[in-house]
Amino acid sequence: MDLQQVKQRFGIIGNSPLLNAALQTATKVAPTDMNVLIQGESGVGKESFSKVIHLLSNRKHAPFIAVNCGAIPEGTIDSELFGHEKGAFTGATDKRKGYFESVNGGTIFLDEVGELPLGTQARLLRILENGEFIKVGSSAVQKTDVRIVAATNRDLLERARMGKFREDLYYRLATVPIRVPKLLDRKQDTYLLFLKFSSDFAETHHRNILELTPDAQRVLSEYPWPGNIRQLKNVTEQVCVLESSDIIDTPTLLRYLPPVESHLPILLGKIDGNYEGMSERDIFYKVLVDLRRDVNDLKKVVFGLLENNEPITNTTPNYNPAPTYSQDSSTPNRLQLPNETSRVHEYETTSFNSNNDEDDEDFIEAETYSSDTDSTLSLEAKEIEMIRLALTKNHGKRKKAADDLGISERTLYRKIKQYDLE
């Protein structure tokens, strides 16, 4: 069966090279009994790939079950997966079969496998190694013949380094890894998916199929779609239900696209002092850029006058002529003005957590200002404050906090460890 036939059979839309490569791998590995780990962001369609693998395998007539590991409470997940004996725990009034016993001979799809507790991971590893498991509350070893297809939107090796996922389990699951591309990496497929969803919802809601103007198609393709295909589907249904016109232009489409915050640490475009429509994070970086520019301009004026042995005229408020340099080693690069009575101005250049090995951390150098009240503009303190606020806002959920901060979850974990914010 070629790729086009597979796409038609399973309703997969798109011609992106990354999508085709992932689908090609899935069709090749399907007839085997090899374990597969499907990786990709939330909403890219990982479960569809698991069904492709099962229905093109020799187990296609056997049971298939999809289990969301992140949706099952930690206290009951062992019972759900492996079963339990009567009286094994409070409320266990009867004997129960688990998924691995019920799906014997078939395929089990473990979605969000990175959320499994460590104890459950050890049980799963035993099944992968020799097909054996023990029910909760039992001492009898049972055998099962189940093919495991797992999926995750997490970096499992990173979680393994943090002690939250077994590294040996990762390599057992990832016998064949398949990465499903995010929608941003397959822009040419975005409008095709929109038309497919529009056709489906037009039939459901009894209306005509929607069409986009050329400009609206361009906006649709360039939008980053953080929720991927699931978000595109939801937006299409909203437009289909709420708009009376069959032709959707750019202003209409933009009403249904939530603004997406830039993940870059610096501002792009013109910096003109206008903060309207900017996020707090972008304003913060803009202030730093403006501050650095002002300080550099002031230093050029001062040092230029010194080199020419010219007196400094009192053109700037609160500055006196004939500056001298302090020899105090505790205040490097300090420019002290004579006869100062009320305050001392000092500038010192600091680096804002520069890490060349992180592609999402091209932080800028900033110049900090301090006065006699010892007030400082500490970028590190601001960063810690922003991390604390994001974690508090999201009730400690680090993935959502990382999204709010505009950094990767891996970077947030490193920052939490660096600043001892556990």
Provide the pLDDT confidence category of residue 257 given band limits of 50, 70 and 90.
Answer: very high
pLDDT of residue 281: 60
Provide the pLDDT confidence category of residue 309 given band limits of 50, 70 and 90.
Answer: low
Residue 275 lies in a domain: no
pLDDT of residue 328: 46
**Cβ distance 91 to 132 under 8 Å?**
no
Provide the pLDDT confidence category of residue 391 given band limits of 50, 70 and 90.
Answer: confident
Domain limit, last residue, from 125, 157, 181: 181
| Neighbouring C-alpha atoms within 13 Å toward the C-beta of 188 | 7
Considering its fold, how many domains does the chain have in total? 4
pLDDT of residue 387: 86
**Residue that wins the pLDDT comparison between 271 and 162:** 162
Geometric angle at alpha carbon 314, from 311 and 317, rounded to 5°? 145
Q: pLDDT tens-digit profile of 38-47?
A: 999 999 999 9
Q: Is 331 found in the same domain as 219?
A: no
Q: Is the pLDDT of residue 82 over 50?
A: yes
**For residue 105, how many other CB atoms are within 10 A of its CB?**
12
Residue 264 lies in a domain: no
**Residue that wins the pLDDT comparison between 288 and 346:** 288
Q: pLDDT tens-digit profile of 266-281?
A: 444 444 445 444 556 6
Q: Is 96 found in the same domain as 11?
A: yes
Domain limit, last residue, from 120, 146, 181: 181
pLDDT of residue 310: 54
Residue 228 lies in a domain: yes
Residues 322, 313: Cα–Cα separation, whole Å: 9
Q: Is the pLDDT of residue 324 over 50?
A: no
Residue 265 lies in a domain: no
Please state which of the ranges 2-16, 232-246, 357-371 shows the lowest mean pLDDT: 357-371
Q: Is 156 found in the same domain as 21?
A: yes
pLDDT of residue 199: 93
- What domain range includes position 392? 383-418
Q: Is the pLDDT of residue 414 over 60?
A: yes
**Cβ distance 386 to 405 under 8 Å?**
yes
Q: Is the pLDDT of residue 217 over 80?
A: yes
Provide the pLDDT confidence category of residue 307 given band limits of 50, 70 and 90.
Answer: low
pLDDT of residue 371: 41
Provide the pLDDT confidence category of residue 375 given band limits of 50, 70 and 90.
Answer: very low
Residue 154 lies in a domain: yes
Q: Is 167 found in the same domain as 64?
A: yes
Q: Is 102 found in the same domain as 237?
A: no
Q: Is 310 found in the same domain as 219?
A: no
pLDDT of residue 330: 44
Q: Is the pLDDT of residue 319 over 60?
A: no
pLDDT of residue 124: 96
Residues 322, 338: Cα–Cα separation, whole Å: 7
**Cβ distance 67 to 78 under 8 Å?**
no
pLDDT of residue 340: 40
pLDDT of residue 183: 95
What is the average pLDDT across 331-360? 42
Q: Is 165 found in the same domain as 219?
A: no
Q: Is 204 found in the same domain as 170?
A: no
Q: Is 235 found in the same domain as 105?
A: no
The structure's pTM equals 0.61
pLDDT of residue 343: 40
Helices (H) and strands (E) in the chain, counts: 16, 13
Closest CA to 125 of 115, 116, 137, 138: 116
Provide the pLDDT confidence category of residue 335 given band limits of 50, 70 and 90.
Answer: very low
Q: Is the pLDDT of residue 229 over 60?
A: yes
pLDDT of residue 63: 95
What is the average pLDDT across 154-171? 95
